[in-house]
Amino acid sequence: MAGDGVDQRALQYEQTLMYGRYTQELGVYAKEEAARLREGGQRRSVGRSLDLLEYDKGRCAKCRICTVRCQKFLISRVGEDWIFLILLGLLMALVSWAVDFCIAICLQAQKWMYGGLDSNVFLQYLAWVTYPVVLITFSAGFTQILAPQAVGSGIPEMKTILRGVVLKEYLTFKTFVAKVIGLTCALGSGMPLGKEGPFVHIASLCAALLSRFMSLFGGIYENESRNIEMLAAACAVGVGCCFAAPIGGVLFSIEVTSTFFAVRNYWRGFFAATFSAFIFRVLAVWNRDEETITALFKTRFRLDFPFDLQELPAFAVIGIASGFGGALFVYLNRLIVQFIRKQKAINKFLMKKRLLYPALVTLLVSTLTFPPGFGQFMAGKLTQKEALVTLLDNRTWAKQGIAEDFDYLGHLQAWQHPQVNVFVTLVLFIVMKFWMSALATTIPVPCGAFMPVFVIGAAFGRLVGESMAAWFPDGIHTDGVIYPIVPGGYAVVGAAALSGAVTHTVSTAVIVFELTGQISHILPVMIAVILANAVAQSLQPSLYDSIIRIKKLPYLPELGWGHHEKYNIRVEDIMVRDVRYITLNCCYRDLHNVLLTGNLKTLALVESAESMILLGSIERAQLQALLSQQLGRARRMEYIRENAMAFKKCMSDPESPPPPPPVEDTNSQQRHSTQEVRFQITTEESTLSPTRPTPQKPLKPALKRPSVVDRPPEILTANNDNSGIALKNLFCANPDAEAVEDDGDTEDDMTIREIAEWEEQQLDEQVNFSNCKIDPAPFQLVERTSLHKTHTIFSLLGLDHAYVTSIGRLIGVVSLKELRKAIEGSVTVKGTKVRPPLASFRDSGTSSSENEATELHKLWDRHKSMSLPREHTQSDSDEKSQ
Amino acid sequence: MAGDGVDQRALQYEQTLMYGRYTQELGVYAKEEAARLREGGQRRSVGRSLDLLEYDKGRCAKCRICTVRCQKFLISRVGEDWIFLILLGLLMALVSWAVDFCIAICLQAQKWMYGGLDSNVFLQYLAWVTYPVVLITFSAGFTQILAPQAVGSGIPEMKTILRGVVLKEYLTFKTFVAKVIGLTCALGSGMPLGKEGPFVHIASLCAALLSRFMSLFGGIYENESRNIEMLAAACAVGVGCCFAAPIGGVLFSIEVTSTFFAVRNYWRGFFAATFSAFIFRVLAVWNRDEETITALFKTRFRLDFPFDLQELPAFAVIGIASGFGGALFVYLNRLIVQFIRKQKAINKFLMKKRLLYPALVTLLVSTLTFPPGFGQFMAGKLTQKEALVTLLDNRTWAKQGIAEDFDYLGHLQAWQHPQVNVFVTLVLFIVMKFWMSALATTIPVPCGAFMPVFVIGAAFGRLVGESMAAWFPDGIHTDGVIYPIVPGGYAVVGAAALSGAVTHTVSTAVIVFELTGQISHILPVMIAVILANAVAQSLQPSLYDSIIRIKKLPYLPELGWGHHEKYNIRVEDIMVRDVRYITLNCCYRDLHNVLLTGNLKTLALVESAESMILLGSIERAQLQALLSQQLGRARRMEYIRENAMAFKKCMSDPESPPPPPPVEDTNSQQRHSTQEVRFQITTEESTLSPTRPTPQKPLKPALKRPSVVDRPPEILTANNDNSGIALKNLFCANPDAEAVEDDGDTEDDMTIREIAEWEEQQLDEQVNFSNCKIDPAPFQLVERTSLHKTHTIFSLLGLDHAYVTSIGRLIGVVSLKELRKAIEGSVTVKGTKVRPPLASFRDSGTSSSENEATELHKLWDRHKSMSLPREHTQSDSDEKSQ
């Protein structure tokens, strides 16, 4: 579920909080941590066995050993994956059940209030409207205050996290609380919102917290890849326990969050999701809601003849229409977000009154669904669940002459209106709910869009089904036996198709089977879902990808199927040839310059500028730390101390030669280091030798700016204990600020000028990489690696960038950006990704209508010049389409 | 599906035919081919546009251009994936339907013969037995003659192919014909064999052939990764159209063939499998077998109360028992193969009479199932399909006092016996079919084991269900309403659980839902399948993995879940430190020596022996080609020609200095090169300078052996035009054969001794790598990469080996072998892989009962010595379990 929480406020904090740190960077830390833990573990076990030996001397030694062993056994068991998964499943089932229970109470309360005030329509209206407004406003405010990360669906973020990106503060306890309470209130308001997406996030939160909790017992060995595996399983649990659909949950979570999937995670997901769904349904039985374990929205279609073969075209039509509808929904959702973001006046106003937007939207939606008002024409009385149950009903609503003893009983009454046909009610329901859902999912509360879309799809299917039933009152079958058409089956097909189109998944088919408890309509559902996907995928990205783009999270677009030209593009066509690198024997000045000019997260380390043999890659932060160390205050102090010592020694023992000066500029240094000379120099202005050929500009000391928000945390920690000028220059935002200020921490005995000189000199030293963490095997590609393979490798390994080498020599670099450009290529119009099969039709249609000779000419030109990667993509696709 | 075709004969050809060539090697060729194709395409398009320009001058130019465009459009469409997938689905549906149709006719014919001869029991027996024996013998003989690769299931081989290994002759038209006809005959015989596994293979064959066929139209760009993707989709189609189970088919094929799968392939699989299943079922409707599209084995269980919560323990029991049963089946199957292989006398005899083994097995099985004989106690009359239909029946068989008006009608009569209880019949059926299926699947015909196992599982479930129904005649529910127990539901659960246990998959759950058309028992099925998997996986490998090991196909064991110690092992613990490498400036002699000593497929290329900076890897075949070129006859001839020219020149122009000799040993060379000197030397025996320090042994010319089967094809092509001694030495199997023979092709004017000398001299030249294909970016790992990550990378990228580097320096290599050893580690007992969760219980149980101090001591010793990887695995797990 998604589409959500993308209002101006949400967008603001994302830019500051949600920047991605790739695990490639974290890998090094993780390894060190692992080594530390392992050593720790060994030491600990030594200690333990010594303890045991001591116990042996005691009286009831055996007994004690036994106890210790049992304890150890239990603790070691706690670390087992399957215990973890069972606990996760149990927890999530409880959470899901509790949330459902609270939502049901909230909705009942609204109905009770509304029902109790039936004497006065105005009071009724007030109650009907105020209640959701209060709940939504509370939900928005609560999440805003406690954890703004809890806003929205969660699936886009989980996709990003499983891609290997670390989103800050995204898996904390605060977020958990905010998400659960926020979701309960939001859904309790009766707005067209879903719980699926948030449940994926909640399950991931549970997994992360549980993992942390269980590591207290010591059993678990914390590991990056294991965490990712557990999160993948958690996503499956989230969907599984939300719909009591373990298989569909696993598949849906795979389709929605992964590009590549490990079969062993699939196992984990199945295990946990089944357990969770089981407990979730058992809770319903224990609570006396159900007699036994059955499906959530059980249907009772006939088994012997579920549908006629001749009905298949109607199902196909549902599929295609749902495809267009799904694409429209995604577009509408994005349009609303972009509209609000663009209108500066609205934006500013809403920024100030953050809770106004949710309140206004809720007011609008609930006013329109007010049952005595417009709501009477669109079954506004029904909650989402009730609407779904009625839509999947077994019976035919549209009575066509044939006396079917069918009264609109219970909730079905809502669809009946004395003046208006049931077809009109259904159309109104679909149209109104469509834009309402698209609008409601932009409210900054924890919410998803799956369930609303599912209900709209069911209504659309029902509409087609009722029309079919009206058209063929005796069924289509001609062999004598009358098999009337079952509109409920159409509703199932429509629900699966529309939700599949919006999320770009085919597993919604499995979800509907598990939700309804019937699989008899498998072929119509599959056909409709596949057609809907084909149409929707060629028009718009999925809702989750759309949100990823809106939120500017890092992503890698998928390769469409059938894009043959992708097999023809090579890495050499898209790579950046101007690679920033450092050499093994470079000096700190080079380091400084490199850090100043680029802003890549990692830098290539080559043997020498001549050989260009790639030795590894170093993180930017590591280099910054190296530089900090070299120019840091601690080192300067030491230098001063040493010089002072040397001077003293020199004074006390005049025969001995003066200590060897560290670098060339010995005179000034020696002068600096002593008290009297220092004094002398501070008054002097022209000590800096003008013959020195160093570039002055990067060394100009900059203002120490108060804003530190923009700096990554590593720099902050590395930076907080030194006052180096060059460093500041490096870390501060605008190095062209000329003002030379005393920083207030020149309490060490050097003036700024002295420091600058000392730093100059330090910068000329050769870099000592021995304490630096180097990644000795960054991922390498070859010039001729195809784009297809590159994409596969990037998505398989979750890479951020890869170096291109030719027999060990570094010749280029490809990052996610280049790859993204190359894949989206020419078809990136207005931020949407256009995909086959329809896209491929269109491409070839347009290009073949152009002058082919011209294209060929262009193509050859491009091939010779090897210019921009983007153009190359185009040219390659042109070549293909000729 | 499997277990199959592993008799002695099959094993023999596998050793020669089925060696794996990894795609890493093929990658280079693929790239070159791709470049060639691309250039060709460009040239072609130039030609085309020129043609078009010429047309312009013609009369109806526009019309023609239009036609050409349409044609081009159609051709380019043919290359689209979705057309390919539709065609594949259509083709497979037709094949599946046709095979089913033929099998049904065959089985009917047997019944008709058996029924017509009911006057004489002996004639009846003869007919009952002869018919299957003839069919099976024909099937075995036919596949043996046409394509022995068609024998068996096909899933193990497809798993290996999708892993990136190229199996020879495995995807040819001959194999397709042999597989389809062989399978039809084998299943038509009524033996307990299945069609699922072979259908996976047939679908892959179809995909490969279709791909080749469509490339005739030019549309498709042939590519390695695309082919793999198409094969993955084909596997899904195979299962999907076999059971009309598209979703289950996709999932089953993923679980069975992949370790990692791309979600985009999943899409493809869904699309093709749905289309295929649809057509498959539509064919049934058109053939008037069915009224409309429904499930293959439709069940009619009640929907309102499918099962009681209190029945769940019984379902769990089915799951656990099925787990043990599944493991036993795999074990039994392997035992039979190994028994036949070990008994040399039997083996020899059977080798001679290849068709005797199938005939004997068939005779035994059909004798036992003869309905008037023992078959009457085990429903021997029923075909597999009929048995399954009756087992899934809605009604309760065991009448317990309550007057249920239930007569054993139709096929159900087979289960009824006047003397014997239905329980006894069921038990006999299960026991007999169990070993019969395990035995039958070892017959060398195309066959699988899924369906027989499925039926046995259903019978077991039925047995439990009937027992439950007998135990609780009024159902368990206590709230007044009587819900009798449905034994058919138990049969569904048992079928899913046992087939899941044998194949180690959970998607059998989905398959049963699709097969029965009912999903009401989802939770019992899921619980039973998961329990069965947990038990079976901890006892035995899956049937397919078992066959992979029996057939000695390359494989990578999977990491069990919960094995935490895997996160603790590092590459440095398992890598081979003694890496064979060649340096950039080595001479041909080094190359020669390296090739002689090792037999790795690729060799590392380093900058120099001192720096050890890894530059890339070279294939062995490439090096052999280099060496062939250097020492080849063409070059020798050229050398002779040049020398002759120089000699002539020298003779004709005595003033000019003699031509500069190529290398040091100028005197002897010049002498060789002229006619008279050559004559002089051939009589002389001591021209070889004894001061030369080269090792003599590798240069001793060896016998040219007639057997060329062992040589890889690259060598053959590289070798067929030269007669170099050192080369022969290298390529022949035993280089210690001392006999110096004249090869008969010394028609060039040099004796063997001269050639040896010339070669000696050539070997000292520096290698010119410029024409050599070097893989400039072999996969690199770091010392501290964890085993878990290594496994992931190997299975993700389908690697064969990876180099371990430390800041660009080569320090080791890890190949599949080391990885396999490290993963299977200490638990590889008797070729089986023991996996958690039960395994982890047992491990810790045994290790914690030992003396912990001793273990600790061992651990420390090991840690210091860093000895064998195998021991390390143990120590790590010990450390964990303390």
Q: How does DSSP assign B251-320, residue by residue? A: HHHHHHH-SEEEHHHHHHHHHHHHHHHHHHHHHHHHTTS-SS---TT-----SS----GGGHHHHHHHHH
Average pLDDT, chain A: 72
pLDDT over threshold 80, residue B193: yes
Residues sharing a CB contact under 8 Å with residue B753, sequence separation 6 or more, in sequence order = B681, B682, B685, B687, B688
Using the 8-state DSSP alphabet, how is residue A65 labeled?
Answer: H
Q: What sign does the CA torsion over A518, A523, A528, A534 have? A: positive
User: Half-sphere exposure (CA, 13 Å, Cβ side) for B419?
Assistant: 3
Q: Could you tell me the pLDDT band of residue A615, with boundaries at 50, 70 and 90?
A: confident
Q: What pLDDT sits at residue A721?
A: 41
**First and final C-alpha spacing in chain B:** 42
Characterize B859-876 residue by residue with b for buried, 16 or more Cβ atoms within 10 angstroms of its Cβ, and e for exposed.
Answer: beebbeeeeebbbbbbbb
Contacts of B807 in chain A (CB under 8 A): 605, 615-616, 774, 776
Q: How far is B493 from chain A (nearest CA, A)?
A: 15
Q: What sign does the CA torsion over B391, B394, B400, B401 have? A: negative
Q: What pLDDT sits at residue A78?
A: 55
Q: Per-residue pLDDT tens for A386-441?
A: 889 888 888 887 764 443 445 556 677 777 777 778 888 899 999 999 999 999 98
B323 in Cβ contact with B503 (< 8 Å): no
| Residues A298/A304/A306/A307 CA torsion (nearest 10 deg) | -170
Residue A646, token pair as written in the block: 């040397």
Q: Output the DSSP codes for B358-409.
A: HHHHHHHHHHHH-TTTGGGGTTTTS-HHHHHHHHT-SS--S--SS-------
Q: How far apart are CA A650 and CA A220, in angstroms?
A: 60
pLDDT over threshold 70, residue A115: yes
Residue B134, token pair as written in the block: 């003839």
Q: Per-residue pLDDT tens for A365-384?
A: 999 988 888 888 888 888 88
- What Cα–Cα distance (Å) separates residue B830 from each residue in B7, B543, B827, B833, B870? 20, 15, 9, 9, 16
Judging by beta carbons within 10 Å of its beta carbon (0-12, 13-18, 19+), is residue A48 exposed, middle or buried?
Answer: middle
Which residue type occupies B738?
Answer: E
Closest partner residue to B848 (CB to CB) among A73, A615, A856 is: A73
Q: Please state the separation of Cα A673 from the chain's center in Å.
A: 55
Q: Output the DSSP codes for B777-841.
A: ---EE-TT-BHHHHHHHHHHHT-SEEEEEETTEEEEEEEHHHHHHHHHGGG-BTTB---TTHHHH
- What Cα–Cα distance (Å) separates residue A836 from each residue in A672, B207, B612? 71, 21, 48
CA-nearest of B272, B280, B199 to B451 is B199
Q: What pLDDT sits at residue A5?
A: 38
The percentage of residues in chain A with a pLDDT greater than 90, rounded to a whole number, is 17
Do β-strands B602-606 and B614-619 pair in parallel, antiparallel, or remain unpaired?
antiparallel
Region B502-527 average pLDDT = 90
> Given an 8 Å threshold on Cβ–Cβ distance, is A266 in contact with B259?
no
Q: How far is A403 from chain B (nearest CA, A)?
A: 27
- What Cα–Cα distance (Å) separates residue A713 from each residue in A351, A621, A716, A800? 28, 10, 5, 20
Give the highest mean pLDDT range of A729-733, B8-12, B129-133, B371-375. B129-133
Q: Which residue of B has its CA nearest to A560?
A: B264
* Order of strands across the sheet that contains B581-583: B581-583, B602-606, B614-619, B774-775
Residue B200, token pair as written in the block: 């996976």
Q: How far is B631 from chain A (nearest CA, A)?
A: 26
Q: Per-residue pLDDT tens for A553-609?
A: 877 776 655 455 555 677 878 888 888 888 888 888 888 888 777 667 778 888 888
In B84-209, DSSP assigns E strands to 165-166
Closest partner residue to A519 (CB to CB) among B261, B518, B852 is: B518
Q: Which residue of A has its CA nearest to B310?
A: A292
> Given an 8 Å threshold on Cβ–Cβ distance, is B882 in contact with A45?
yes
Q: Could you tell me the pLDDT band of residue B624, with boundaries at 50, 70 and 90?
A: confident
Q: Per-residue pLDDT tens for A685-735?
A: 333 333 333 333 333 333 333 333 333 343 333 334 444 444 554 444 344
Q: What residue has token string 């010319």?
A: B701
A459 in Cβ contact with A491 (< 8 Å): yes
Closest partner residue to A291 (CB to CB) among B72, B305, B509 is: B305
Q: What pLDDT sits at residue B704?
A: 33
Q: Please state the separation of Cα B759 from the chain's center in Å.
A: 43
> Given an 8 Å threshold on Cβ–Cβ distance, is A262 in contact with B792?
yes
pLDDT over threshold 70, residue B370: yes
Contacts of A581 in chain B (CB under 8 A): none
Residue A228, token pair as written in the block: 């990712």
- The interface predicted TM-score (ipTM) is 0.71
Using the 8-state DSSP alphabet, how is residue A602 labeled?
Answer: E
Q: How far is B82 from chain A (nearest CA, A)?
A: 7
Q: What residue has token string 């058309």?
A: B517
CA-nearest of A118, A174, A186 to A150 is A174
Q: Per-residue pLDDT tens for A797-838?
A: 777 788 887 777 788 888 877 887 777 664 333 333 333 333
Region B652-672 average pLDDT = 46
* Order of strands across the sheet that contains A780-781: A780-781, A801-806, A809-815
Q: Could you tell me the pLDDT band of residue B837, with boundaries at 50, 70 and 90?
A: very low
> Given an 8 Å threshold on Cβ–Cβ distance, is B561 in contact with A853?
no
Minimum mean pLDDT among A375-389, A457-471, A735-749, B495-509: which range?
A735-749
A551 in Cβ contact with A160 (< 8 Å): no
Using the 8-state DSSP alphabet, how is residue B412 labeled?
Answer: G
Residues A750, A754, A760: CA angle, nearest 5 degrees: 135
B151 in Cβ contact with B445 (< 8 Å): yes
Q: Per-residue pLDDT tens for A316-348?
A: 999 999 999 999 999 999 999 888 888 777 777
Q: Could you tell me the pLDDT band of residue B452, with boundaries at 50, 70 and 90?
A: very high
Contacts of B537 in chain A (CB under 8 A): none
- What Cα–Cα distance (Å) separates residue A237 from each residue in A253, A508, B261? 9, 16, 20
Do β-strands B581-583 and B602-606 pair in parallel, antiparallel, or remain unpaired?
parallel
Q: Could you tell me the pLDDT band of residue A152, with boundaries at 50, 70 and 90?
A: confident
pLDDT over threshold 90, residue B737: no
Q: Please state the separation of Cα B641 from the chain's center in Å.
A: 51
Instruction: Work out the number of other CB atoms within 10 angstroms of the CB of residue A430.
Output: 21
Do β-strands A780-781 and A801-806 pair in parallel, antiparallel, or remain unpaired?
parallel
Q: What are the residues facing B606 on neighbouring strands?
A: B583, B614
- Per DSSP, the three-state class of B209 is helix
> Given an 8 Å threshold on Cβ–Cβ distance, is A786 in contact with B223?
yes
pLDDT over threshold 50, residue B708: no
> Given an 8 Å threshold on Cβ–Cβ distance, is B246 in contact with A774?
no
Using a CB cutoff of 8 Å and minimum separation of 24, what contacts does A734-737 make? A734/A702, A734/A703, A735/A596, A735/A697, A735/A698, A735/A700, A735/A702, A736/A700, A736/A702, A737/A702, A737/A703
Q: What residue has token string 């470049």?
A: B35
> Given an 8 Å threshold on Cβ–Cβ distance, is A52 in contact with B274?
no
Q: How far apart are CA B224 and CA B227, in angstroms?
A: 5
Q: How many residues does chain B have?
A: 882
Q: How far apart are CA A718 and CA A712, in angstroms?
A: 10
Region B144-148 average pLDDT = 88
Judging by beta carbons within 10 Å of its beta carbon (0-12, 13-18, 19+), is residue A814 exposed, middle or buried?
Answer: buried
Q: What are the residues facing B775 on neighbouring strands?
A: B617
> Given an 8 Å threshold on Cβ–Cβ distance, is A258 in contact with B263?
yes
Region B62-71 average pLDDT = 78
Q: How far is A496 from chain B (nearest CA, A)?
A: 14
**First and final C-alpha spacing in chain A:** 41
Which residue type occupies B299?
Answer: T
Closest partner residue to B567 (CB to CB) among A223, A246, A285 is: A223
**Run of H or E residues at A80:** none
The percentage of residues in chain A with a pLDDT greater than 70, rounded to a whole number, is 69
Q: What are the residues facing A583 on neighbouring strands?
A: A606
B218 in Cβ contact with B167 (< 8 Å): no
